Amino acid sequence: GERRWVYESTILVGNDAGAGQWNYGSAGANGGGGIRVGDVENLSASWEEATKMNVGVELSLLDKVRVQADYFHEKRTGIFLQRAGLPAIVGLSVIPYTNIGETMNQGFDGTVEYTQKVGEVFLTGRANFTYNRNKLLNNDEPDWEYKYQNKIGKPFGSGGNLQPFGLVALGLFESQEEIDNSPKQSFGEYRVGDIKYQDINGDGQIDSQDKIAMGFTNLPEIVYGFGATAQWKNWDVNVFFQGVSHVNFFLSGSTIKTPFGSGNMERAAINEDVYDKVWRPGNTAEQNAGSIYPRLSWSGAVGSSNNSQTSDWWMRDGSFLRLKNFEVGYTMSKGLMNKTFIKSLRFYLSGNNLLTFSKFKLWDPEKGNGDGSGYPPNRVITVGLNANF
């Protein structure tokens, strides 16, 4: 089960120690049971610590403009992480956790509100903006041979997931001659119409050592919104837009990548967008020039995972601007309400998540990674009334 007492060691004896034994004798066929250390105690385990700094300012001008701005900086130390730099020669079967992680998070946010009366119309405009950038300062990772693969200094996304690393896609192979004259790709068989990758370290071979940090994380660095409210006589209108930027996600899942990966192709549906925009062997070079997806293949048959590698070929921009809320209302006049037992009565029509503007069209970009399965944010239209008695 899950380990609860990090300050105690565990010793495994007999069957719990596993199948390994100390062999002796010339044939190595004789063995003797023993004990081994399981979890190693950590007597210095403690809570992580956070050092925070905030600097804020508030302004009000002529009772029309209000501004709030805040700069924040936070450094966390002693984050409880599993050691990543211990070599196998240490002989531990379970890598211990220690207070070794360090992260930094900083940014600023602000709001602006403007109020103005134009004739009989009362107008209020408002906007907010948040920029947040974080990075990993220490996680005990080993010093990689190629410095561009170091995770220290890179940002992390939701759930603590680090910035993704992947291959740089140069396009699709257009001919066998191009394949023959390109660095060898180490992910099984590949053919014309498959993804061509960049040899980052220049060793003439494409492998995991050519993976680099790419794009932004799945946690937006920029979140913003803006809207307005207008009141005229008994009518009122309210509108608010919300958006995010500096965010990426990757296409994945059976309906998107099964034809290019290691899944069971004959049991999986193919996304319509894949069918319409896939590279086809019978097309001319001009017809295939705009292909969004590589040649259909099934790695279970050809022993290849070339097209399903994490790469910027599958990376998408998760930025979007959404009409988050729109509402129009009408409040009955007080003179009319005075003749009834109702103090006030307002009818309204409102909608949430009405429109989304994004470069990504397959599904709601707020869902992020995956193949579009699951429920997107609901579009809701409401007709109602508010009454006070």
Helix (H, G, I), strand (E, B) or coil at 379: coil
Signed CA dihedral, 171, 172, 177, 179: sign only: positive
Per residue in 357-376, pLDDT (tens digit) is: 999 988 889 887 777 777 88
The answer to whether the CB of 184 falls within 8 A of the CB of 196 is: no
**Lowest-confidence range among 3-7, 60-64, 349-353?**
3-7
Cα-Cα-Cα-Cα dihedral sign, residues 182, 185, 189, 191: negative
Q: In the predicted model, what is the mean pLDDT of residues 72-84?
A: 90
Give φ, ψ of 136 to 5 degrees: -85, 130
Q: Where are any strands of DSSP class E within 145-234?
A: 165-166, 169-172, 184-185, 195-197, 205-206, 212-213, 222-232
CA distances to 94, 180, 319 from 222, rounded to whole Å, are 39, 44, 9
Please compute the mean of the pLDDT values over residues 235-243 and round it to a whole number. Answer: 96
Nearest in space to 351 (alpha carbons), one of 385, 372, 377, 326: 326
CB atoms closer than 10 angstroms to residue 278:
20
Q: What is the pTM of this model?
A: 0.80
The confidence band for 344, taking pLDDT boundaries of 50, 70 and 90, is confident
For residue 131, CA distances in Å to 128, 333, 365 come to 10, 44, 19
pLDDT score at 89: 78
Average pLDDT of the residues of the chain = 85
SS3 of residue 295 by DSSP: coil
Tell me the per-residue pLDDT of 256-302, one tens digit each, with 9 for 90 and over.
655 555 455 555 567 788 888 899 988 888 889 889 999 887 655 55
Q: Name residue 315's amino acid.
A: M
Assigned token pair, 341: 């037992």
33-42, 236-245, 274-283, range with greatest mean pLDDT: 236-245
Task: Give the confidence band of 34 by pLDDT, cuts at 50, 70, 90.
Answer: low
Q: HSE, CB side, 13 Å, CA atoms: give it for residue 196.
A: 17
What average pLDDT does this structure show over 77-94? Answer: 81
Write phi, then psi, for 267 (nearest 5 degrees): -105, 0
Segment among 125-139, 202-216, 277-291, 347-361 with least mean pLDDT: 277-291
In whole angstroms, give the CA distance from residue 269 to residue 276: 14
SS3 at position 233: coil
- At 339 the pLDDT is 67
Between 304 and 70, residue with greater pLDDT:
70
**CA distances from residue 243 to 84, 96, 217, 319 in whole angstroms, order as listed:** 37, 41, 16, 7
In the predicted structure, residue 16 carries a pLDDT above the cut 50: no
Percentage of the chain exceeding pLDDT 90: 51
